[in-house]
Amino acid sequence: MRDPLICGAMTHVGLVRPNNEDSFAILSKDGGFPHAFILADGMGGHRRGDLASRIAVDYVRERLLQELADTKSIADLTRQLADIVEKANVKVYLGSLTSEQNRGMGTTLTLAVLLPDQILIAHVGDCRAWLYRDGELRQLTVDHTLVQELVNSGSLTTEETYLHPRRNVLTRALGVPEYLQPDILAIPTQPGDRFLISSDGLHGSVDAQAIRNTIKKEKTPDELADALVDLALEAGGEDNITVLAAFL
């Protein structure tokens, strides 16, 4: 019998933006499994990014509460996660049509269901899921961004992405009329793993080595989330920052 899952979260508007366009939710039953993390980052520079992220998180939260209440196979739950993200995209797009003020709004979305021996992840955009194990930090998701495509093609190094003028350009996000398919991942876990999801306000200014060092030394998920947000603020806090953390 696994011990109850220990979770923490922290969000901050940052030092530049006037409002926080990140939205998140953590779902659990008495701290045990299954457990769910949801994080959406409203598209910066677009109208009503805060509304778009709230629509996405509210819909995903409602659907997951229904899905997790029922006993499902891993295959069924995986299919449901894909369907939830696809429907969340429709919800955001329909919301963008309700007024001229909302036109063009969009959001990223990364959600994870933590089970006793694995994590199921559905991902669209540039929030990141991470897994820390035995002193090593692994980035689980791949950013849907222009600079990531340039890195993949060999035209840009990871270090160069931090200063690239188009580093925030997304290639996939919720709020479009076209069919949207998320990346779906199944990651085996073991006791002692540390898992987190961050918005790009963290990893857009703090490198993976600094994130790894912080994960290694902090004693609780709440302390870890607070410390990582502080790192991003010390680096300039140019964007909203959200960190969701769990110790397995």
Report all structural domains of the chain as residue ranges with CATH numbers, in order of start.
18-199 (3.60.40.10)
Which of 32-36, 91-95, 113-117 comes out lowest in average pLDDT?
32-36
Which of 46-50, 68-72, 160-164 comes out lowest in average pLDDT?
160-164
213-222 pLDDT per residue, tens = 999 999 999 9
Q: Is the pLDDT of residue 165 over 60?
A: no
Per DSSP (E only), the strands in the chain are: 6-12, 22-27, 35-41, 109-114, 118-124, 128-133, 136-139, 183-188, 194-198, 241-247
31-35, 47-51, 126-130, 160-164: which has the highest mean pLDDT?
A: 126-130
Q: Is the pLDDT of residue 101 over 80?
A: yes
What pLDDT shows up at residue 166?
63
2-47 pLDDT per residue, tens = 556 889 999 999 999 989 999 999 998 666 678 999 999 998 556 7
Task: For residue 149, name the pLDDT band (cuts at 50, 70, 90).
Answer: low
**What is the rounded average pLDDT of the residues 211-236?**
97
Integer CA distances (angstroms), 225 to 11, 98, 102, 197, 241, in order: 8, 36, 31, 10, 10
What pLDDT shows up at residue 112?
98
The string of DSSP letters for 55-95 reads: HHHHHHHHHHHHHHHS---HHHHHHHHHHHHHHHHHHHHHH
Average pLDDT for the chain: 90
What pLDDT shows up at residue 1?
38
What pLDDT shows up at residue 231?
98
Closest CA to 8 of 232, 227, 237: 227
What pLDDT shows up at residue 150?
73
Q: How many CA atoms lie within 13 A of 155 on its CB side?
A: 7
Amino acid code (one letter) for 133: R
Which of 15-29, 57-71, 125-139, 162-176 comes out lowest in average pLDDT?
162-176
What secondary structure letter does DSSP report for 100? G
